[in-house]
Structure 1
Amino acid sequence: MDKDLEHRFITQLEKHQNIVHKVCRIYTSGQDEHNDLFQEITIQLWKAFPKFRGESKFSTWMYRVALNTAITLYRKSKKSVRGDHYEHVLNNLKYNEYNDEEEQQLKLMYDAIKQLSDVEKALIFLYLEDRSYKEISETLGITEVNARVKMNRIKSKLRTILNP
């Protein structure tokens, strides 16, 4: 095992793990599901990390992998992949416990977001993370104009959900 590769991965994951927590928050409804999805995303990131070429920011690449993993996993009725092979990496990660109480004021918004389609969730998530439309379009593989149009529609949809 390449210790340098592992160290670089763990350093980047620790630095940006809130991205994964936020994806988990949007695509899960309980702490156990959150933890399972966090683990699955971590495994997928670790498997893909040797192929990361640095053509985009690590955080942008991480968003893409995390969102794709969440969408794929939950579209396929929450299949789980055994992570025994990746225990070493997971054991070396300093996991910041996700504090649900800190997010209580966002509960209504998260509940509304959960009513959106998978792609709409991904788009609003990136938007709420202050990602530019250029970054959103690169992450989701759509045009910048399409990202803007979809975002306007999502805002209207959320207003309708929150103010029936």
Structure 2
Amino acid sequence: MSNDFYTSSILPHAGIIIKICRAYTDSQEDFEDFYQETCLQIWKSRDAFQNKSKWSTWIYRITLNICLTLSKKKKRRGNNFDILHEQSEKNTAFKDESLNLLYDAIKKLSEVDRAIILLHLEENPHKEIATIIGTSANNIAVRINRIKKQLKILLDGKIN
């Protein structure tokens, strides 16, 4: 991957890549693997981008697809050691404890709901979220309300 491509095309969107990867991983090592794989796939598939959507929308889609794929692979490969390790590791990705709690709650959501709320937290319009997820804007609005209620329950109980 050329440094120019990374600097001009990936780095401006690194924030969302980081947030999505963080929401689908439980350890720094996994986060780094997910982030690196996402950047690699963006670079490999850059010529496939057809300008039918915004570049940022395309980045979201690739990042979500990579995170979902790697999460599924990790679950299939998982063994008891991985499960014990993940359960004992506390999320300390952010200095702000409330952000760590929020991410812990987000990790309890289904994979699709996780993606929707992350996109919503990035202040993407419902129409763009619908395009990325592959549903209608009305469906996204309803799901966001349900997700917020789930998160409130989880956060009020300090997540279990």
TM range (shorter): 0.7 to 0.9
SS at match of 2:52: coil
SS at match of 1:154: helix
Q: Percent identity?
A: 39
1:43 to 40, 45, 65: 40
TM-score (norm 1): 0.79
Partners of 2:5 and 2:54 lie apart in 1 by 14
Mean CA deviation greater in 8-17 or 29-38: 8-17
Structure 1: stretches of 5+ with no match in the other structure = 80-98
Compared CA separation, residues 153 and 138, structure 1 to 2 (3 A): same
The count of residues paired between Structure 1 and Structure 2 equals 143
Partners of 2:14 and 2:140 lie apart in 1 by 25
AA partner of residue 160 (structure 1): I
1:33 to 18, 30, 35: 30
Can you list the C-alpha shifts for 1:43-100, whole angstroms capped at 9, x where unaligned?
1111211111122111111001001110111112268xxxxxxxxxxxxxxxxxxx93
Q: Does 1:150 align with 2:150?
A: no
1:117 to 91, 105, 110: 110
Residue correspondence of structure 1 range 60-139 to structure 2 within 5 A = 60-77=57-74, 100-139=93-132
Structure 2 residue aligned with 1:23: 20
AA partner of residue 151 (structure 2): L
Q: CA RMSD in A?
A: 2.3
Structure 2 residue aligned with 1:53: 50
Structure 2: stretches of 5+ with no match in the other structure = 77-91
Structure 1 residue 161, shift from structure 2 partner: 1.0
Structure 2 residue aligned with 1:14: 11
Does the 8 Å CA contact 1:21/1:38 hold for their aligned counterparts? Answer: yes
SS at match of 1:100: coil
AA partner of residue 127 (structure 1): H
AA partner of residue 146 (structure 2): R
Structure 1 moving runs of 4+ over 6 Å: none
Structure 1 residue 107, shift from structure 2 partner: 0.8
Can you list the C-alpha shifts for 1:119-151, whole angstroms capped at 9, x where unaligned?
000000000000000110011111111111111
TM-score (norm 2): 0.81
